[in-house]
Amino acid sequence: MSIYWNERIRNVEPYVPGEQPKEEGLIKLNTNENPYPPSPRALEAMRAALSGDMRLYPDPDAERLRGAVAAYYGVDPAEVFVGNGSDEVLALAFLAFFDRDKPVRFPDVTYSFYPVYANMFGVPYQLVELDSEFRLAADSFDGGQGGIVLANPNAPTGICVGLEQIDAWLAKHRDAVFVLDEAYVDFGGETAVPLVRKHPHLLVVQTLSKSRSLAGLRVGFAIGHRDLIEGLNRAKHSFNSYTLDRVALAGAEAALNDRDYFEQTRSRVIATRERTAAELRARGFRLTDSKANFLFASHPEYEADKLFRQLREKRVLVRYFAKPKIDGYLRISVGTDDQMDAFLAALDDIMRR
């Protein structure tokens, strides 16, 4: 605490990122990174960007990258915004679209950065209660609001809401922006991008950190009506005009263009997830129906926090949240088959005691 902090900074409870361990040799299944390296074409494009031209500013409008996103999704580049990871895109959305006089709604169990953004920018929020199966009801967002933020698939549950339900909510709640955070959609969800032309208040947010194996590059994007994109651009150019460096612009563009590699690696992650889920069920775990690159599992006879610590001792790092409703669960990122075998072996060791 300092006398020089303003009220906003004194009161905010900052986000706590998952542990990025400095030690070597850990099996790291705690921050939903992709176990496969980025596309070789993306690495090649990044290498090519590393010339003397690094002395020059990057394109502040990221035209080529926005073009690649637009081509991938069949939208117009004016309907695409790119930012420094989807976290920054989400922050700018809170900054541009939500007000201090009307509460934004999001589930009580979801990505823990949403309430942080809200507190940071003075936006009130209401938590929508998920049922005991972590599901939303059709009337979940009824009642006036200043916006909706929904992770689909949700984190840390991995549960997906169908597009029909999303469409129905969008039709019902037209008075404020609906931010759909699709960080994990490529692992089995269905993107709502096709609904963007129908609903001018829908902003779909995605990232290259997970399904494109580029967590280390910091690139995310949003797709929505051009007026929403213009709003995000106004926020960006009032904060930091050059958020993506030359390497990130080049690598992200190439990654989006390498569809074969993307399809291969995401299929492998999905296959490993399903195999690991079956193995966990065979060991008595209860799992949500995760469509993300992680599993969300609890065991009726083993305490999650204890399992977390015991796995850590065996050099397997998963994620445990000491929070109401989810403190009985572990979130396990999907690694390679070998990594998941090692995780299961460590678990067997622990459960055999």
Q: Is 25 in the site for a second copy (CB under 8 A)?
A: no
Number of Cβ atoms within 10 Å of the Cβ of 167: 16
Q: Is 207 in the site for a second copy (CB under 8 A)?
A: no
Could you tell me which of 139, 163, 145 has the C-alpha nearest to residue 153? 163
The mark string for 278-307 relative to a second copy (x by CB under 8 A, - otherwise) is ------------------------------
Nearest approach, Cβ of residue 138 and a second copy (Å): 24
Among 148, 177, 297, 326, binds a second copy (CB under 8 A): 177
Q: Is 218 in the site for a second copy (CB under 8 A)?
A: yes
Nearest approach, Cβ of residue 177 and a second copy (Å): 5
Could you tell me which of 21, 119, 105, 94 has the C-alpha nearest to residue 315? 21
Piece in contact with a second copy (CB under 8 A), picked from 81-89, 128-136, 158-166, 274-282: 81-89
Helix residue ranges, H only, the chain: 7-11, 40-49, 63-73, 85-97, 113-120, 163-172, 226-236, 246-257, 259-282, 304-313, 337-352
Question: Would you say 116 or 222 has its CB closer to a second copy?
Answer: 116
Nearest approach, Cβ of residue 94 and a second copy (Å): 9
Q: Is 233 in the site for a second copy (CB under 8 A)?
A: yes
Nearest approach, Cβ of residue 40 and a second copy (Å): 10
Piece in contact with a second copy (CB under 8 A), picked from 8-16, 302-310, 321-329, 336-344: 8-16
Among 27, 75, 87, 169, binds a second copy (CB under 8 A): 87
Nearest approach, Cβ of residue 180 and a second copy (Å): 14
Give the C-alpha separation, 104 to 280, whole Å.
36
Nearest approach, Cβ of residue 135 and a second copy (Å): 28
Give the C-alpha separation, 11 to 161, whole Å.
34
Number of Cβ atoms within 10 Å of the Cβ of 59: 14
Piece in contact with a second copy (CB under 8 A), picked from 4-12, 129-137, 160-168, 301-309: 4-12
Give the C-alpha separation, 61 to 45, whole Å.
19
Cα 104 to Cα 74, 126, 140, distances in angstroms: 30, 6, 13
Nearest approach, Cβ of residue 330 and a second copy (Å): 19
Dihedral sign for Cα 67, 48, 90, 265, please. Answer: positive
**CB of 229 within 8 A of CB of 112?**
no
Give the pairing type, strands 80-83 and 220-224.
Answer: antiparallel
Q: Is 132 in the site for a second copy (CB under 8 A)?
A: no
Nearest approach, Cβ of residue 133 and a second copy (Å): 30
Give the C-alpha separation, 348 to 336, whole Å.
18
The mark string for 88-127 relative to a second copy (x by CB under 8 A, - otherwise) is x--x---xxxxx----------------xx-xx-------
- For 7-37, letters b (16+ CB in 10 Å) and e give eeeeebeeeeeeeeeeeeeebbbbbbbbbee
Q: Is 191 in the site for a second copy (CB under 8 A)?
A: no
Tokens standing for residue 248: 């990130």
Which residues in 28-47 contact a second copy (CB under 8 A)? 28, 31, 33-38, 42-43, 46-47
Q: Is 239 in the site for a second copy (CB under 8 A)?
A: yes
Q: Is 321 in the site for a second copy (CB under 8 A)?
A: no
